[in-house]
């Protein structure tokens, strides 16, 4: 039997946002006006897309679900300011749809299951947005925007390249179907001087997964376990940096994580991706 195009696909993280107030707050957080070019990931049934178009901006919307592209999205597809692209946001080459010279913003209600990967691949692509305003699972949103004392892999990663800010929570009742968890809206603004070159982001992410291998232990234990090196080696590097290796990994700020990474990078320690 043919699948109804009205039913949400769990595997694609489909929770459609119907709350007009939340939609308005997202568009306002991105300070959208008619001069903007917006990249929207996962337009779904077009609720957020319509609010964006009302601001007079142009929108490139990438949707993976063919049923939505040939179904609900046809209502708005003829808008001359909108280009709908059927594809996977993790792998599409943005340069095919957005001119190299264009400063653009990412605005999206991201699917929970793939949200972080989508964000990572777009924000660290050759064509990164100037400003991103995205909705994610609240816990992930809190992690990305966490500061020293609550540092984690995601905060230490994204904040090397972006200023991050938590805007507001969104209740499950704002969606159809309702998710089991709360959502959070955050923004990420490109740093004029990122702490690391973009070409190192894969190595840096792997390094952080090692650094936070044992987050409840002291830094020298966690790093030595993750990097498979001796504790004295970690202590030596920490003291060269003036860092107290007895701290927990969460106590280090992003600048310190980058400094530790630079010390170890290029030596034998960074594991290769599987």
List residues near ligand SAM by CB under 6 A: 12-17, 41-45, 47-48, 62-65, 68, 88-90, 109, 111, 114, 118
Residue closer to ligand SAM, measured from CB, 49 or 58: 49
Residue number of the CB closest to ligand SAM reads 42
3-state secondary structure of 68: helix
Smallest gap from residue 205 Cβ to ligand SAM (A) = 19
How many other β-carbons are positioned within 10 Å of the β-carbon of residue 272?
7
Residue closer to ligand SAM, measured from CB, 9 or 228: 9
Residue closer to ligand SAM, measured from CB, 8 or 247: 8
Closest Cα partner for 166 from 144, 137, 181, 151? 144
What is the rounded CA–CA span in Å between residue 236 and residue 146?
28
What is the rounded CA–CA span in Å between residue 139 and residue 191?
23
Smallest gap from residue 5 Cβ to ligand SAM (A) = 12
Smallest gap from residue 60 Cβ to ligand SAM (A) = 12
Q: Are 177 and 19 in contact (CB under 8 A)?
A: no
What is the rounded CA–CA span in Å between residue 64 and residue 240?
48
Residue closer to ligand SAM, measured from CB, 13 or 226: 13
């Amino acid at each position: 039997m043919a699948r109804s195009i009205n039913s949400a696909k769990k595997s694609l993280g489909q929770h459609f946002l119907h709350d007009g107030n939340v939609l308005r707050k997202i568009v306002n957080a991105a300070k959208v006006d008619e001069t903007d070019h917006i990249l929207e990931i996962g337009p779904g049934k077009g609720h957020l897309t319509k609010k964006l178009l009302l601001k007079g901006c142009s929108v490139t919307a990438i949707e993976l679900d063919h049923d939505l592209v040939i179904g609900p999205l046809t209502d708005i597809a003829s808008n001359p300011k909108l280009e709908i692209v059927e594809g996977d946001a993790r792998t599409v080459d943005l340069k095919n749809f957005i001119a190299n010279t264009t400063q653009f913003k990412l605005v999206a209600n991201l699917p929970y299951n793939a949200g972080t990967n989508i964000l990572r691949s777009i924000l660290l692509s050759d064509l990164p947005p100037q400003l991103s305003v995205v909705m994610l699972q609240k816990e992930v949103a809190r992690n990305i925007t966490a500061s020293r004392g609550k540092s984690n892999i995601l905060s230490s990663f994204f904040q090397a390249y972006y200023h991050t800010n938590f805007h507001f929570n969104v209740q499950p009742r704002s969606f159809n179907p309702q998710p089991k968890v709360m959502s959070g809206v955050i923004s990420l603004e490109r740093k004029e001087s990122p702490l690391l070159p973009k070409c190192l982001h894969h190595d840096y992410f792997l390094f952080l997964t090692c650094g936070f291998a044992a987050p409840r232990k002291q830094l020298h234990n966690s790093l030595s376990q993750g990097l498979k090196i001796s504790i004295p080696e970690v202590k030596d590097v920490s003291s060269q940096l003036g860092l107290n290796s007895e701290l927990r990994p969460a106590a280090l700020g992003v600048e310190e994580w980058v400094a530790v990474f630079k010390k170890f990078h290029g030596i034998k320690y960074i594991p290769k991706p599987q």
